[in-house]
Amino acid sequence: MAVIVQKYGGSSVATIEKIKNVARLLVKKKNEGNSVVAVVSAMGDTTDNLVKLAKDISNTPDKRELDALLSTGEMVSASLISMAIKEIGEKCISYTAYQVGIKTNGVYGKSLIDSIECSKIQKSLSEGNIVIVAGFQGISENGDITTLGRGGSDTSAVALAVQLNAVCEIYTDVEGIYSVDPRKYKNAKKLDVIDYEEMLELSSVGAGVMHSRSIELAEKYKIPVYVALNSGDKKGTYIKEANDMGMESKIITGLATSDDDVAVTLKDIDFDINIISTLFSEIANKRINIDMISQTAPMNGKVNVSFTLPKEELKDCMNIINKYSGNKNIAIDENITKFSVVGIGMKTTSGVAAKIFKLFSDNKIEVKMITTSEIRITCAIKQSDKAKAIEIVAEQFNL
């Protein structure tokens, strides 16, 4: 029998009725002749509510204990779905990350999966069970519960699919992957297929459909991922290799925006490569994700260095950069939107950046910072310009 790993996000299991519906879908999939493993997220807003509880105790809750707290949400979902399946009359068993040996390394809150011991899952499948696994979590080498970061259940699902040599299906509250978030642009087009590389870039710059690390895993092990509406009755989107698409790529496949970053500028620091290298090394050692970076030309032995990072990591970053700025000459801009366009067609098409910047210039949209890759252009713009920027670029490139 084919093994299928399905993942259901928080909105798919937000209520008891939705949990019962997921149970029915899993039983149906098994009755079609499949061995079924389901990875589940916490119910609805459970994770946010648990974070709020922790913040009511402490402004800076201990990260080890926070991971232990947050992991409980997925355990609740897994147990309830298992109960619902058994109530239908089908065999089922739920497991935590500890029970199935999802080993992790790294820091609390954004650990990485090292390995998964799948023998217990395989034994349960051979005994006719549907297997439910709590997503988003793992166990460190010290035996501590760790979490994989927001959206980490996607990574749990893809990692299990890799280990089980299984099909991977991600079910969520949208019908698939769109060229633009349809909540931000009503004419957005749903994609039938998207390349791993494009999806990875979009995920890393704000497209919230998939966890970026899950796409890295899928690409590395060539696991196609199917993303669809949790009802299972509408055609979704396949994420797979570009050369498997059988068509010439569009110049731009998708557009994503994010308001979750802050821009930090260190003014008039000494122009010394050792200082700049040490600064960014310390930031990296704290697992703080720096994205856009720019530096002015040296003037009188001084430079300005600007970069963006997630707002939630600003406090930890400030503890580092204050050592280099003497607690002065630091500008923080929280009024930014990261605006990104992605498409493998940009590899062979010139003038895309020029066209976008001309659109921005004609519409008086100020570009504060720019960064690019071979298939991506990202600009930092004012949040107040976001809606206008989305509309003009989406219309221009038929997104």
Per residue in 259-284, pLDDT (tens digit) is 989 998 888 888 888 888 888 888 88
Reported as a single tens digit per residue, the pLDDT across 315-374 is 888 888 887 666 567 888 999 999 999 998 888 888 899 999 999 999 999 998 888 888
User: Per the structure block, which two tokens stand in for 296?
Assistant: 């002015």
Closest CA to 368 of 276, 265, 254, 252: 265
User: Per the structure block, which two tokens stand in for 43?
Assistant: 């119910």
**Do residues 377 and 367 touch, judged by C-beta distance below 8 A?**
no
What pLDDT shows up at residue 274?
Answer: 83
Q: Is the pLDDT of residue 83 over 90?
A: yes
Reported as a single tens digit per residue, the pLDDT across 215-263 is 999 999 999 999 998 876 788 999 998 665 544 557 899 999 999 899 9
Q: Is the pLDDT of residue 381 over 50?
A: yes
Reported as a single tens digit per residue, the pLDDT across 136-176 is 999 999 999 999 988 889 999 999 999 999 999 999 888 89
The amino acid sitting at 44 is G
Q: What are phi and psi of 311, to 5 degrees?
A: -55, -35
pTM, two decimals, is 0.84
Q: Alpha-carbon torsion 32, 36, 39, 42, what sign?
A: positive
Which of 134-143, 196-205, 300-309 shows the highest mean pLDDT? 134-143
Q: Is the pLDDT of residue 103 over 50?
A: yes
Total Cβ atoms within 10 A of residue 353: 14
Helix (H, G, I), strand (E, B) or coil at 99: helix
Reported as a single tens digit per residue, the pLDDT across 60-69 is 899 999 999 9
What pLDDT shows up at residue 243?
Answer: 63
**Do residues 40 and 73 touch, judged by C-beta distance below 8 A?**
no
Q: Is the pLDDT of residue 1 over 80?
A: no
Q: Is the pLDDT of residue 36 over 60?
A: yes
Measure Cα distances from 107 to 23, 72, 250, 285 in Å: 34, 18, 39, 10
What value does the mean pLDDT take over residues 367-392? 92
Long-range contacts at 365-369 (CB < 8 A, ≥ 24 apart): 365/389, 368/263, 368/333, 368/336, 369/263, 369/292, 369/294, 369/306, 369/308
**Do residues 324 and 268 touch, judged by C-beta distance below 8 A?**
no
What pLDDT shows up at residue 325?
Answer: 66
Q: From CA 371, how far away is CA 103, in angstroms rounded?
A: 35
If you count them, how many residues does the chain have? Answer: 399
Measure Cα distances from 392 to 178, 194, 259, 350, 382 in Å: 17, 23, 19, 20, 15
Strand order of the β-sheet with 302-310 is 293-295, 302-310, 261-270, 330-333
Selected residue with higher pLDDT from 229 and 106: 229
Selected residue with higher pLDDT from 16 and 304: 16
Q: Is the pLDDT of residue 298 over 90?
A: no
**Do residues 308 and 336 touch, judged by C-beta distance below 8 A?**
yes
User: Per the structure block, which two tokens stand in for 110?
Assistant: 């954004």
What pLDDT shows up at residue 24?
Answer: 95
The full set of domains in the chain, from first to last, is 3-248 (3.40.1160.10)
Q: From CA 164, how far away is CA 143, in angstroms rounded?
A: 24
Q: What is the mean pLDDT of the chain?
A: 90
Strands 3-8 and 35-40, sheet pairing: parallel
What pLDDT shows up at residue 247?
Answer: 47
Strands 145-147 and 137-140, sheet pairing: antiparallel
What pLDDT shows up at residue 145?
Answer: 95
What pLDDT shows up at residue 270?
Answer: 81
